[in-house]
Amino acid sequence: MAELLRTQARKPKCYLLRPVTFLLIMLVLVFFGAGFLSPRSPVLWSRRAGAGEAGRESVGLQVVKLSRMVYPQPKVLTPSRKDVLVLTPWLAPIIWEATFNTDILNEQFRLQNATIGITVFAIKKYVVFLKLFLETAEQHFMVGHRVNYYVFTDRPADVPHVPLGEGRQMVVLEVPASARWQDVSMSRMEMISSFCEQRFLREVDFLVCADVDMKFRDHVGVEILSQLFGTLHPGYYRASREAFPYERRPQSQAHIPRDQGDFYYMGAFFGGSVSEVYRLTKACHQAIVADRANGIEAVWHDESHLNRYLLDHKPTKVLSPEYMWDEKLLGWPAIMRKLRYVAVPKNHREIRNR
């Protein structure tokens, strides 16, 4: 009797286990089946051009979510500046004081954790300008953002040690120096393009190429950043295109006819996304080499080639002469509400070719 009970008692357990397992397996199968049978959506994968470049490329083009901010309302019927042009005919902003709100722009770029690289060439005696350049850059250039200074020099021992803020670092790159100052200037294009490939593509999102014999006097921030930007030459912002000192000889690659040209851009301050700067510097370098092979040197060297390139590849932002000024030569006209990046007085004869 007890045996019978025991077997009977055991039986329900064994009897229950199998159906329950079966049911659980059915459950799992049904869910899998639902997944298989549900109408298929197209396979959608992110497009990636190339590992490093694609990751960097997206900065600046992303639409990021901003936090709540308080600022005055922009008024549709009230232009920000009535005395100057703020938009080129190809819809690129021309950056003047009062056209932009620093807070909004800072937040947009901070949210993307943008890193800005700035290249500066301190060849031969030009190393003396580095200290003032770096100190003023620490005060005014891209404050609050990640910055990499790339100092190209043939005298790495003479590079001053300047204390840098948080998120900012300096990289000293040793490069050979050409004998002639014109060649020093033009070789910058080659060096920047080769380092773009080697380092900049992986390390920074935006690249700014600046002259070293300058100092920052006022805010120069993320308002300048875009795919490709050039700066208006302070000596020619009033001039008509026939008076621009473009290269006028048709034999040169930098040739621009008298009836063409938008602005005269200065070779001392240009930049953009790393890939665009790479294309620009590579194209300019190739044009310089072609000219050299034809026994011609453009009238303003790399600046002439830069102007030719920017005529064909319109910049997406143009910086007003506030971003490139010489107070000694040009004074301080009312139209310049701020002087941001200005020339440091130097003795040309002494400093060049030494």
Show binding-site residues. Answer: 121-123, 126, 211-213, 233, 303, 326
Comparison of 51 and 157: residue with beta carbon closer to other proteins: 51
Q: Contact between 334 and other proteins (CB under 8 A)? A: no
Residues 169-198, interacting with other proteins (CB under 8 A): none
Q: Contact between 241 and other proteins (CB under 8 A)? A: yes
The pair of three-digit structure tokens given for residue 179, joined into one six-digit string: 């004998």
Q: Contact between 260 and other proteins (CB under 8 A)? A: yes
Residues 215-234, interacting with other proteins (CB under 8 A): 223, 227-228, 232
DSSP strand E in 16-145: where?
94-95, 115-122
- Residues 299-313 as b/e (b if ≥16 CB within 10 A, e otherwise) read ebbbbbbbbbbbbee
The pair of three-digit structure tokens given for residue 152, joined into one six-digit string: 């190209």
Residues 62-81, interacting with other proteins (CB under 8 A): 63-68, 70-71, 73-80
Alpha-carbon torsion (237, 238, 241, 246), positive or negative: negative
Give the residue ranges of the annotated binding site for Mn(2+).
Answer: 211, 213
Comparison of 148 and 226: residue with beta carbon closer to other proteins: 226
The pair of three-digit structure tokens given for residue 1, joined into one six-digit string: 């009797």
Residues 282-311, interacting with other proteins (CB under 8 A): 311
Active site residue 223: no
Comparison of 32 and 332: residue with beta carbon closer to other proteins: 32
The Cα–Cα gap between 94 and 34 comes to 56
Number of residues that bind other proteins (CB under 8 A): 86
Q: Contact between 331 and other proteins (CB under 8 A)? A: no
Amino acid making up residue 166: E
Point out the catalytic residue in the list 303, 322, 327, 350.
303
Tokens 């005696």 -> residue? 125
Closest CA to 309 of 258, 255, 351, 249: 255
Tell me the catalytic residues.
Answer: 303
